[in-house]
A and B are shown apart, each in its own frame.
Chain A
């Protein structure tokens, strides 16, 4: 850097002065973003104080003081018998199989694992942009995979032992309910959305009534209804097990939400598209199936993913009607006289697993939204 001459007024080219040190680099960034005004200074101090209050105790609890090894629950207890004020990770280790599969027999768990592998194997190509056969893969995942999974999980054919649904539980049951809910509710939702936008008054009224009815009541009343009223609706002697009744309730409930998402997509397609298709002589179903729905559904994929996130979180409610989903099995472990009582560890672990699923899905939906946003 050349020496600055303050009294220099000579014409000609001069080297650029470097910017003041307080406006560039780390210092400049801090001045602009943390300490730009007295108010900001105070807010930064408040934030730092909050972080100091919250973060170190959490790190202590989860890592430093936590109990990582040992094989009896006594390692996690004080002399008095109460749980220590730290995470008891051996408790998770002890219950891990139960948390993942519920009471599903250990010798049969390969069936669940192979379905997981099939599902993941099917989903990976969907994330590769240059992969060509995405349509076929989606059809496989939506229509063929559920059938395969049903025969794998329930057994009873192909030399597989029958596993009764009361034995299903843990994260496995959560995934079964969430995925069944979304797979069943998508076609019903599409039909309802088309019905709501139909020209036929009776069809439209029925669809509006159905959608608003389910959207107006909480899921828990729907689950209560499915568990106490379905048996009354059915003819004498006919009965379903508890899981199927809950699945019907969840599917009908999410179908109403799905219908509103799909309707949003249908409304976004200009009317000219329908008119053009009509002018070409396409029938209603051909217009919808070949022209409108492919565009509308592509547009609402983020909305569908968001509905799925909501549904995934709502599956926890089935524990109220006595099914042992992931949160249900966590609750069940607390009542165990030997290994129970580690509430905080259990809830934090459950929260972490749910968070991982929901957060990754919401990021994916945001990414899709950006990718599909081809407007201005």
Chain B
């Protein structure tokens, strides 16, 4: 009896074309089918076109001789090296400019961001003008300005701008003395490594002692002393095993010493100045996000301004700052691909430009280039998610 009632109270089953479960399945099958069909069409068209143009697909070309030179290489590279080696050289150049850009953009961005918040009216307004001006001008235009408008207009090597007879600036680049290590230099390197290890264990010991007894230790001053003192002692003991190699004018340009090509200088200048505007805004937002009550509370429990900033304000501000900061680093890395416009030999210029032109392997070359950038950005976002989870407020 009871079962009968239940049977009648059960909702009527909808017809199959109105059932949400079947509808979802049907719709997804439709989308998947469409995507597969599209992919199949593209792949078959591409294969057909490649066959027609007589291009063999595959990554075998990476082993053949490149036969072109690269303006700047961090590792040894000659024209007889393979395409793969050229790829590595280009990738290193990209990473180099990204690292330089990130370094200076961070420092400058933090300075401008703090200046924007300063209670000095003039400084804060100047920071605002800087941010609003450079942020609203396309990056490529800024790169062009620094490269064609400034650095290429510098005098010829013979009329170089000189600083203390050791730095030379001309339209071929910036030349500076290069350190040349001599015998015994490894000793200094090892002393720096030793200093870092000592500082690490000292900081752990100091932290533990403060947690146990409440006594503080001047970790910062002692660390500075160790990191400068230990290598200095090592240098004195080995008799300063390093000389400087000065650039000299030979023929039409300077030889020896360290040289920075103008492409690298203008690209890193434009990238850091442009990205610094965004970082400044992020820093400002981060610091204003920490409510003033936190500072007041820290003062009330007796912390001085320094520890207040270090222990209360900055850790909380960083929680707001780090995620957008990481995505700015990512943007900077992606924007470094604009190097192609001023012929800085980065991944896009060398690989998606020259190599593609020489081999005609469009699909493989573009796929590798995109793959590299995609890998970098996925790595950075994985780091960001990890950091976010670590730093997220533990809510009850």
Q: Which of B35, B121, B366 contacts A33 (CB 8 A)?
A: B121
Which B residues from 366 to 387 make CB contacts under 8 A with A? 366, 369-370, 373-374, 377-378
| A358 CA / B139 CA spacing, docked (Å) | 13
Spot the interface stretch: A107-115, A120-128, A228-236.
A228-236
Known interface pairs A221-B369, A231-B49. Does A347 touch B136 (Cβ–Cβ under 8 Å)?
no
- Among B50, B121, B137, B352, max chain A CB count under 10 A is at B137
Interface flags for A305-349 (1: CB within 8 Å of B; 0: not) read 000010001101101100000010001001000000001100100
| A43 CA / B116 CA spacing, docked (Å) | 13
Find the A residue at minimum CB distance from B353.
A224
Given pairs A43-B120, A218-B334, A224-B369, 19 additional interface contacts (CB within 8 A): A40-B119, A200-B28, A213-B374, A216-B378, A217-B377, A219-B334, A220-B348, A221-B348, A221-B370, A224-B348, A225-B370, A228-B362, A235-B48, A313-B137, A319-B341, A320-B340, A358-B135, A358-B137, A362-B136
List B contacts of A26 (CB < 8 A).
Answer: none
Which B residues from 111 to 137 make CB contacts under 8 A with A? 118-123, 126, 132-133, 135-137
Known interface pairs A224-B352, A233-B42. Does A343 touch B120 (Cβ–Cβ under 8 Å)?
no
- Kindly state whether residue A36 has any CB partner on chain B within 8 Å: yes
| A350 CA / B140 CA spacing, docked (Å) | 11
- Among B141, B334, B352, max chain A CB count under 10 A is at B141
Interface flags for A284-301 (1: CB within 8 Å of B; 0: not) read 000000000000000000
CB distance from B94 to the nearest CB of A (A): 10
Known interface pairs A221-B348, A224-B366. Does A316 touch B138 (Cβ–Cβ under 8 Å)?
yes
- Kindly state whether residue B238 has any CB partner on chain A within 8 Å: no
> Are B119 and A200 in touch, CB under 8 angstroms?
no
> Are A202 and B373 in touch, CB under 8 angstroms?
no
Which B residues from 31 to 79 make CB contacts under 8 A with A? 31-32, 35, 42, 45-46, 48-50, 52
- Among A43, A212, A236, A314, max chain B CB count under 10 A is at A43
Q: Which of B46, B118, B126, B335 contacts A233 (CB 8 A)?
A: B46
> Are A327 and B140 in touch, CB under 8 angstroms?
yes
CB distance from A264 to the nearest CB of B (A): 14
List B contacts of A47 (CB < 8 A).
Answer: 120, 122-123, 126
Q: Which residues of B contact A (CB under 8 A)?
A: 24, 27-28, 31-32, 35, 42, 45-46, 48-50, 52, 118-123, 126, 132-133, 135-142, 144-145, 148-149, 153, 334-335, 337-338, 340-341, 348, 352, 356, 362-363, 366, 369-370, 373-374, 377-378
Known interface pairs A199-B24, A221-B337, A224-B366. Does A216 touch B137 (Cβ–Cβ under 8 Å)?
no
| A354 CA / B362 CA spacing, docked (Å) | 34
Q: Which residues of A contact B (CB under 8 A)?
A: 33-34, 36, 40, 43-44, 46-48, 50-51, 199-203, 206, 212-213, 215-221, 224-225, 228-229, 231-236, 309, 313-314, 316-317, 319-320, 327, 331, 334, 343-344, 347, 350-351, 354-355, 358-359, 362
Q: Pull 28 A–B residue pairs with CB atoms less than 8 Å apart, ordered by A.
A: A33-B119, A34-B121, A43-B122, A46-B123, A47-B126, A50-B126, A51-B126, A201-B28, A202-B31, A216-B373, A216-B378, A220-B338, A221-B370, A224-B352, A224-B356, A225-B366, A228-B356, A232-B46, A233-B45, A236-B48, A316-B140, A316-B141, A320-B341, A343-B145, A343-B153, A351-B142, A359-B132, A362-B135
What 6 A-B pairs come out closest when comparing CB atoms? A358-B136, A33-B121, A216-B377, A218-B334, A313-B138, A218-B337
> Are A200 and B24 in touch, CB under 8 angstroms?
yes
> Are B137 and A221 in touch, CB under 8 angstroms?
no
> Are B148 and A44 in touch, CB under 8 angstroms?
no
Q: Which of B49, B52, B118, B348 contacts A43 (CB 8 A)?
A: B118
> Are A355 and B136 in touch, CB under 8 angstroms?
yes
| A233 CA / B43 CA spacing, docked (Å) | 7
> Are A220 and B126 in touch, CB under 8 angstroms?
no
> Are B370 and A44 in touch, CB under 8 angstroms?
no
Known interface pairs A225-B370, A343-B153. Does A218 touch B335 (Cβ–Cβ under 8 Å)?
yes
> Are B348 and A218 in touch, CB under 8 angstroms?
yes
CB distance from B343 to the nearest CB of A (A): 11
> Are A40 and B120 in touch, CB under 8 angstroms?
yes
> Are B340 and A220 in touch, CB under 8 angstroms?
yes
CB distance from B325 to the nearest CB of A (A): 17
CB distance from A140 to the nearest CB of B (A): 29
List A contacts of B377 (CB < 8 A).
Answer: 215-217
> Are B31 and A206 in touch, CB under 8 angstroms?
yes
A-B contact count (CB 8 A): 153
List B contacts of A359 (CB < 8 A).
Answer: 132, 136
> Are A232 and B45 in touch, CB under 8 angstroms?
yes
CB distance from B159 to the nearest CB of A (A): 13
Q: Which of B119, B341, B374 contacts A217 (CB 8 A)?
A: B374
List A contacts of B35 (CB < 8 A).
Answer: 206
List B contacts of A199 (CB < 8 A).
Answer: 24
List B contacts of A46 (CB < 8 A).
Answer: 123
CB distance from B92 to the nearest CB of A (A): 17
List A contacts of B140 (CB < 8 A).
Answer: 316-317, 319, 327
> Are B338 and A317 in touch, CB under 8 angstroms?
yes
| A71 CA / B46 CA spacing, docked (Å) | 54
CB distance from B299 to the nearest CB of A (A): 18
| A148 CA / B126 CA spacing, docked (Å) | 45
| A34 CA / B123 CA spacing, docked (Å) | 9
CB distance from B84 to the nearest CB of A (A): 19
CB distance from B52 to the nearest CB of A (A): 7
List A contacts of B369 (CB < 8 A).
Answer: 221, 224
- Among A48, A199, A203, A314, max chain B CB count under 10 A is at A203
| A46 CA / B46 CA spacing, docked (Å) | 62
Q: Which of A48, A206, A319, A343 contacts B122 (CB 8 A)?
A: A48
Known interface pairs A47-B122, A220-B348, A320-B341. Does A350 touch B52 (Cβ–Cβ under 8 Å)?
no
List B contacts of A331 (CB < 8 A).
Answer: 144
List A contacts of B373 (CB < 8 A).
Answer: 216-218, 221
| A351 CA / B149 CA spacing, docked (Å) | 13
List A contacts of B123 (CB < 8 A).
Answer: 43-44, 46-47
